[in-house]
Amino acid sequence: MRTALPIDISPQLDDDQRRTTVRLTKKFKDMLEQRPDSKEPAAEKERRQQNFTHTLSELAGTLSAALFDCVDGGAGSFKEKLDDAVINTQFLQLNIAGDATMQSLPWELAADADPELGVLAHNPNIAFVRRARKLHNELSNLPPKPLRILLFISAPEDLDPEKARLDYEGEINAIEAALDEKISAGKVILDIAEDGRLSTLKRWLEQAPYHVVHFSMHGNRGEIDLTSREEKSPPALHFEDEDSGNSRAVAPEELEACFQNAQNRPPLLLLAACQTADFDARDGIASFAQRMHAVNFANVIGMQLSVADSSATNFAATLYQALLQDIPLDAAMARARAVLQSDGLQWSIPVLYSSVKNLTWNNGTSEKAPTRQAVRDIQIGQIPFRSQGFIGRRRFIRAHYRRWASGAMPHLLIHGIGGVGKTTLAGHFALRLQRESADTAIFTLAPPFELEILIEQLQQACTANNLPIDEKQKQAATTALQVISLYLYALAPSLSCIFIVDNLEDALDLQTMEFTADFTGLGELVTLLTGQTNVHTLLTCRHPIASESVRAQTTPAALGDASHGDILRLLRNWDWPAEVTAKVKNDIYATLGGNFRSIEWCACLLGQARDSADKSATRHSDWQALKQTYEKEKKKSARQAKQHVLQHMQQNLLFKQLLDLLGEEERKFLAKLALEENPLPEDAATALWPSKQATALLTRCSGLTLLQPTPHPLGIQFYFAPPLVRELLQKNVPLPAAEKKAAHAALAHIWRHYGEQVTRLISDDLRAIAHFEQAGLTQEAFALRSDLGRFFVDSQRFREGFALLLQCYRENESAMDWNALNTLGRSQRTLGDYDFALEIFQKAETRVHSAKTEEELENLGTTLNNISQIYDAKGDYETALKYLQQSLKIRQQIGDKSGEGTTLNNLSQIYKARGDYDTALKYLQQSLKITQQIGDKSGEGTTLNNLSQIYKARGDYDTALKYLQQSLKIKQQIGDKSGEGTTLNNLSQIYKARGDYDTALKYLQQSLKIQQ
């Protein structure tokens, strides 16, 4: 290991020498920063170049003379020390001391006429170190290996893209490529922040300790008020503003505060930003690097002037490679400086401030094996998303996220070929906005686009946030879109809603790119969502959508191949054998492009399946053979074939070779799993393949990236076949019809079990129905649909219940039992279709017309009562009375007190409508007595309310008030808010009739509050 031979440089310049050196430095910097005029005459250009060369030569000589004056024996002795250092495998460490002015001089330009010395900074055996603080012998609290670097890039939106915008993707690619071998070997962990916001920096610093925090951005030196000579503005780095993404100047003190809660104070800050080490003696403003060094950062590298992006990147990459060889920091910096010699004077720009004598980073700390960042999935609604782990796509995120999140373009259509990461990005956008904004909810919809599943998610959100919806309007809704609108209306004031509609290509006519007839409702949903306020939508599709209503409201965002750097990061998810070198990885990228799915499958084919060592894959370990196969297939394609066609062919080729790793039965098992578009529970494996190896095969297929493990909110492991995998399985592994039906039957029973016993989700029942139908098990589908329809109606969800029961009615009315028919009739009556309701109730009557058992008689009494209510609503009171009298007789016969009370109440309303108040009162008094006897508080409250209305109609307001007060008390006791609101409204009408408008208004306001 090389050690330093320190030489202290404390220049002693008299006033004239000092002024001359400062003047030359200023002139040199100004000339270097000056942009040449493209129209400048050749003679003027040559004159200016000669002037610059002369200034540089004069400054270099002045600095070298001052430097050698600090060495006993001058230049000759310096040369001897250098020779001795090289012989003893050392290097010269030139420690520049003195005041801020002395340290700010560009000592790296020092040059001697002796060619064996020449430009000192060009010699990798000479290191320059600024010493501005008390020195320590060595670095303390150095984090354990591997070398951990945080690359933090800021490229504000409002910087001139032609003059100032950083090539951040190029920088990431270059550093990723330079360190790829070491990262793959576990020698380096390179974390890359997703944006340049201060809050993002804080979050990363709190997550892990770092050896280096590398800032790549623009900077500027401070300004001074020329009159008062006071600092006008401090030196700054240009971060990205939290909201707008525009430039936000961050001073050293504010940046230092970001490290207060960091896991450590990094041993090195690399400020790869312009002018971070620039100091002008005329204004005395300390540079950004000087100030950060002064607040206890042991080592800070800054830039004296504007630095080119490519030079800063090459410098950093070489610096890190040297540090990985246990070369001391100052010597590593000398080596990094040497690679910039062909970049003009860029080599002179970096400077190191350090308070450590021994800058060796190998401090004997035990090396810890790095843990690869976990890929964590989270399931939201139907779709599993990556909540942590590699995302990449910084350019796309930068181009679209802020405008989408801010609401400037809240409806985004992400389109691109399968496998490029559309769903992952949609999830990233949604989860990031949810982290950044309180009270944000995410809802998802994916094939087969069952709107009931979305309604279920919306209902759960309303329940979780105690947000009531208007149940009467919900019951009156005739379409799923109307119900969704009601939920949106309830959620919008309290929650910001994000809707992800994934894989829309399944709903499109691929000739016209319009929604097919089967999915017109989905198209209307997209139109509805994109027309809302306080709503963000993310649509994903393989193609742009032609629908004018969608195009008018959404912003298209094409997603192409991932960058080289992104692919290198993805490839590190596998432990590559030694023969898969960085060159081979570059060749893989050049051949397959930036399609994540293709790269994953290629990696698996090379025998490196994630989470398992796939020994059988070694026969595919020759990348060249795989590449030749691909090129051979490519030649078969038409020369003018579009890129997406070639990519699809490439994916199919890789997929077929992946399938070759599985046996025939295993391939069939995978094809059966792929019949389900949603994540499946682990125990579905044994239902589809009754073998001890079923669960192990799930793990194996996950390792081959053919299945995606995804956790369920209940803590159960689920598995998901991505859309591209499902598509290619259907093409490459066709199932015999009998096996396909059997698989659908098994899936149906799995979902039925989960819906009934595990998740209790209606969406699982709907999936069971779909699979029963695919399996040809029509009776099972019919029975489940009927049960589910009755459940909806009993839950006051009449529209959903009606839709399911109506389907049963149209399919096979004769197979519907009394319960199903009665429930369908109730839903139709509630929805106002009295003729259809009457038809259904009459069919229900035929089921129990010859009633013998008590249950059958009770059902008959209920049916007769229901029929009477239809005639009542139609104004046919005589017929209504006839059915009610029959119902009453049956109720009394079987001792059904509850039913008797209800029937008596209904009879009273018929006589009230006919103006026969005495008879109405008689029936109500009988009903009241029964409800009180059996403790039916709800029925008692309703009967008291009805009694009040009789007395009101007769003008007896005092008695009406008495009954209403009793009714109100009961409604409040039992928590019947709807009934309480109705009673308060009725009270207001009594006081209004009496002319007491103030009291009437008071009750109306209370009623309105409850109804709202």
Q: Are 71 and 12 in contact (CB under 8 A)?
A: no
Alpha helices by DSSP H, 606-736:
623-636, 643-659, 664-673, 684-688, 694-703, 723-732
* pLDDT tens string 503-527: 888 888 877 888 888 788 888 898 8
Please check the confidence at residue 164 and state whether its pLDDT lies above 50. Answer: no
The C-alpha angle 392, 394, 396, rounded to 5 degrees, equals 110
- Looking at residues 444-460, what average pLDDT do you find? 86
* pLDDT tens string 21-72: 888 988 888 887 676 666 778 888 888 888 888 988 999 999 999 999 999 8
Contacts of 912 (CB under 8 A, 6+ apart): 920, 946, 949, 950, 953
134-138, 290-294, 841-845, range with the lowest pLDDT: 134-138
* pLDDT tens string 619-659: 444 566 666 666 665 555 544 444 444 455 556 667 777 77
* pLDDT tens string 890-899: 888 888 898 8
* pLDDT class of 167 with cuts at 50, 70, 90: low
Tokens at residue 384, please? 């599993």
Please check the confidence at residue 884 and state whether its pLDDT lies above 70. Answer: yes
CA distance 536 to 343: 47
Please check the confidence at residue 103 and state whether its pLDDT lies above 80. Answer: yes
Please check the confidence at residue 369 and state whether its pLDDT lies above 50. Answer: no
DSSP sequence for 337-387: HHTTTTSTTGGGSEEEEE-EEE------PPPPPPPPPP-EEEEETTEEEEE
Nearest alpha carbon to residue 496 among 539, 427, 553, 435: 435
* pLDDT class of 609 with cuts at 50, 70, 90: very low
- Looking at residues 660-688, what average pLDDT do you find? 84
* pLDDT tens string 529-587: 988 878 999 999 888 888 887 888 888 988 877 676 666 666 666 666 666 677 777 77
Please state, as a whole number, how many other Cβ atoms lie within 10 Å of the Cβ of residue 243.
12
* pLDDT class of 882 with cuts at 50, 70, 90: very high
Please check the confidence at residue 614 and state whether its pLDDT lies above 60. Answer: no
pTM: 0.59
Three-class SS state of 122: helix
- Looking at residues 791-806, what average pLDDT do you find? 77
CA distance 962 to 332: 94
* pLDDT tens string 191-218: 888 888 999 999 999 988 999 999 988 8
Three-class SS state of 215: strand
Beta strands in 43-175 (DSSP E): 90-96, 126-130, 136-138, 147-153
pLDDT of residue 571: 67
- Looking at residues 790-799, what average pLDDT do you find? 75
Q: Are 841 and 873 in contact (CB under 8 A)?
A: no
* pLDDT tens string 433-443: 887 788 899 99
107-111, 346-350, 902-906, 988-992, range with the lowest pLDDT: 346-350
Tokens at residue 705, please? 């990236």
Tokens at residue 876, please? 């046919």
Query: For all residues of the chain together, what is the average pLDDT?
Result: 82
Domains of the chain: 3-35+46-130 (no CATH), 136-358 (3.40.50), 376-558 (3.40.50.300), 936-1012 (1.25.40.10)
CA distance 139 to 265: 11
pLDDT of residue 42: 80
* pLDDT class of 962 with cuts at 50, 70, 90: very high
Three-class SS state of 136: strand
Nearest alpha carbon to residue 573 among 383, 702, 740, 750: 702
Q: What is the DSSP letter of 4?
A: E
pLDDT of residue 479: 82
pLDDT of residue 647: 52
User: Which of the two residues, 232 and 489, has the higher pLDDT score?
Assistant: 489
Please check the confidence at residue 476 and state whether its pLDDT lies above 50. Answer: yes
Burial 302-322 (b: 16+ CB within 10 A, else e): bbbbbbebebbbbbbbbbbbb
Please state, in angstroms and as integers, the Cα–Cα distance from residue 390 to each residue in 570, 571, 711, 805, 851, following that order. Answer: 7, 11, 18, 47, 67
- The H or E element containing residue 848 is helix 834-848
Strand partners, 555: 412
Strand partners, 536: 498
CA distance 982 to 179: 73
* pLDDT class of 377 with cuts at 50, 70, 90: low
User: Which of the two residues, 38 and 127, has the higher pLDDT score?
Assistant: 127
pLDDT of residue 14: 86
Phi-psi region of 114 (alpha: psi -120 to 50; beta: other; left: phi over 0): beta
Tokens at residue 522, please? 């989905």
Q: Are 340 and 346 in contact (CB under 8 A)?
A: yes
* pLDDT class of 410 with cuts at 50, 70, 90: very high
162-176, 676-690, 827-841, range with the lowest pLDDT: 162-176
Q: Are 474 and 799 in contact (CB under 8 A)?
A: yes
Q: How many CA atoms lie within 13 A of 10 on its CB side?
A: 3
Q: Of all residues in the chain, what percent carry a pLDDT higher than 70?
A: 85
- The H or E element containing residue 236 is strand 236-240
pLDDT of residue 389: 47
* pLDDT class of 282 with cuts at 50, 70, 90: low
pLDDT of residue 774: 92
pLDDT of residue 616: 42
Q: Of all residues in the chain, what percent carry a pLDDT higher than 90?
A: 17
* pLDDT tens string 732-753: 888 999 999 999 999 999 989 8
Please check the confidence at residue 270 and state whether its pLDDT lies above 90. Answer: yes
Please check the confidence at residue 365 and state whether its pLDDT lies above 50. Answer: yes
pLDDT of residue 469: 80
pLDDT of residue 618: 40
